[in-house]
């Protein structure tokens, strides 16, 4: 029995990056021997075991053969006769096919160290094109390592295009696709993930509503980047730079999908794109089996992000309605994420990445003002049910109205003082 450390741990150590998970491959052993040593099997049909002390994964060396469609359409062959090189060959990229023995010696039969130095994501063998999940994985690695200067090898990108056009991507389960998409959105460059999928024509298969945004123009006065797809990429990059959570990143990805439905005769205007986008967001959420918190924020951002941008102009009654729609009283954290989504949207524009966004502080202050209204005085008056709700709304509206009045009066006073100084 020979045991080797493989995969991401070896790769990231060579890149001087933190190692979070360690995987091992065992050559020359049987499942019975692993069990006798106290290893716990992960699954009945998969030769992977958990170490009795560390809990790390140890997999028997194996080969695989395509036997069906999709990510699960493979049969595996594990035996003591399978060599380390044969096991490494079934992996996706050369940089993921480096092994290290107990003495620290590297086994690199497919040029992984060379590609690490060249900052290249390159497939190992033509069998790469048999697994549709690898399109998403390579795009995710591109998003992770883009800050280090990594790029996808042209021949690998060609195989990704082949997979995208083969129909194999449709065989991926929603759960598996979402796992890769959600992980990729949390990488340092989620925009690169979407861009790679667009370049290899996989975005049109997986998220056609987002793919439809590329090439759709917006008014240059508000969007110097013009192209709506490029705007979405810029918004995602802002999300990463400001370390936004997954729910915000997902909402930012989908906030403008309604613009893909605009009649070209109306370009570059997109009137009503908020309402037009709602059915698309619902369809995407359902198709991808997105978690509820991400679903809800994406719908709210699609419908109300322009309200956020016009927050300084909105009447007290409109602001109160917005707070109620987002359920700020029970879900204040969701309102904060909505404001963050609007902020990322505003800054995801060429040359405006550092722009001030006073709407954010304004919205949060309005929300705090409304949430500070107590129901206790109304309960003391004996109000209940619908009467209590109506009275509470009136009190909140009054509080917001007074807040706006004070804000405008303060602004007018500051302007007058500035005029006197200028004079």
Question: CA 78 → CA 26, 38, 48, 217, distances in Å?
Answer: 10, 19, 10, 53
Q: Domain for residue 58, yes or no?
A: yes
**Neighbour tally for 41: CB within 10 Å:** 14
**Neighbour tally for 121: CB within 10 Å:** 24
Q: Domain for residue 261, yes or no?
A: no
Instruction: Please give the pLDDT value at position 412.
Output: 66
pLDDT digits (tens, 9 = 90+) for 81-109: 999 999 999 999 999 999 999 999 999 99
Domains identified in the chain, total number: 2
Q: Domain for residue 98, yes or no?
A: yes
Range of the domain at 416: 373-422
Q: Domain for residue 57, yes or no?
A: yes
Instruction: Please give the pLDDT value at position 67.
Output: 46
Q: Domain for residue 367, yes or no?
A: no
List the chain residues with pLDDT less than 50: 67, 70-71, 73
Among 71, 101, 118, give the residue marking a domain's end: 118
Q: Domain for residue 359, yes or no?
A: no
Q: For strands 2-6 and 23-27, give the pairing.
A: antiparallel
Instruction: Please give the pLDDT value at position 298.
Output: 98
**Neighbour tally for 409: CB within 10 Å:** 10
Among 87, 118, 149, give the residue marking a domain's end: 118
- Tracing tokens 């594990």 back to the chain, one arrives at 78
Among 59, 94, 118, give the residue marking a domain's end: 118
Q: Answer yes or no: are the C-beta atoms of 61 and 25 closer than 8 Å.
A: yes
Q: Domain for residue 184, yes or no?
A: no
Instruction: Please give the pLDDT value at position 294.
Output: 98
pTM equals 0.92
The CATH number linked to 47 is 3.30.460.10
Instruction: Please give the pLDDT value at position 64.
Output: 74
């Amino acid at each position: 029995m020979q045991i080797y450390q493989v995969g991401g741990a070896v790769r990231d150590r060579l890149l001087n990056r933190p190692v979070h998970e360690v995987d091992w491959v065992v050559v020359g052993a049987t499942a019975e021997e692993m069990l006798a040593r106290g290893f716990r099997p992960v699954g009945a049909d998969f030769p992977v075991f958990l170490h009795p002390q560390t809990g790390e994964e140890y997999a028997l060396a194996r080969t695989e053969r395509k036997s069906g469609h999709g990510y699960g359409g493979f049969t595996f062959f594990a035996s003591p006769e399978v060599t380390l090189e044969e096991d490494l060959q079934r992996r996706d990229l050369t940089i993921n096919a480096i092994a290290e023995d107990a003495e620290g010696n590297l086994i690199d039969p497919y040029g992984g160290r060379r590609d690490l130095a060249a900052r290249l994501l390159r497939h190992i063998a033509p069998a790469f094109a048999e697994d549709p999940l690898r399109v998403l994985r390579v795009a995710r690695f591109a998003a992770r390592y883009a800050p280090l200067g990594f790029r996808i090898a042209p021949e690998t990108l060609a195989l990704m295009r082949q997979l995208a056009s083969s129909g194999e991507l449709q065989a991926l389960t929603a759960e598996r696709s979402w796992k890769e998409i959600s992980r990729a959105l949390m990488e340092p460059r989620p925009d690169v993930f979407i861009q790679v999928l667009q370049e290899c024509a996989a975005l049109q298969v997986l998220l056609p509503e987002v793919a439809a945004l590329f090439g759709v123009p917006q008014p240059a006065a508000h969007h110097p980047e013009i192209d709506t797809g490029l705007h979405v990429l810029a918004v995602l990059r802002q999300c990463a730079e400001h370390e936004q959570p997954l729910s915000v990143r997902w909402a930012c990805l989908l906030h403008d999908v309604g613009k893909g439905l605009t009649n070209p005769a109306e370009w570059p205007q997109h009137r009503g794109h908020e309402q037009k986008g709602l059915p698309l967001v619902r369809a995407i959420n359902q198709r991808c089996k997105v978690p509820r918190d991400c679903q809800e924020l994406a719908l709210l951002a699609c419908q109300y992000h322009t309200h956020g941008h016009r927050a300084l102009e909105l009447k007290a009654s409109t602001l109160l309605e917005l707070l109620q729609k987002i359920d700020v009283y029970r879900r204040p954290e969701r309102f904060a994420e909505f404001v963050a989504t609007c902020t990322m949207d505003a800054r995801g524009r060429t040359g405006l990445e550092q722009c001030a966004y006073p709407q954010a502080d304004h919205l949060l202050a309005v929300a705090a003002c409304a949430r500070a209204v107590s129901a206790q005085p109304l309960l003391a008056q004996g109000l209940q049910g619908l009467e209590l709700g109506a009275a509470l709304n009136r009190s909140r509206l009054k509080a917001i109205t007074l807040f706006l009045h004070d804000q405008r009066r303060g602004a007018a006073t500051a302007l007058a003082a500035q005029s006197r100084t200028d004079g």
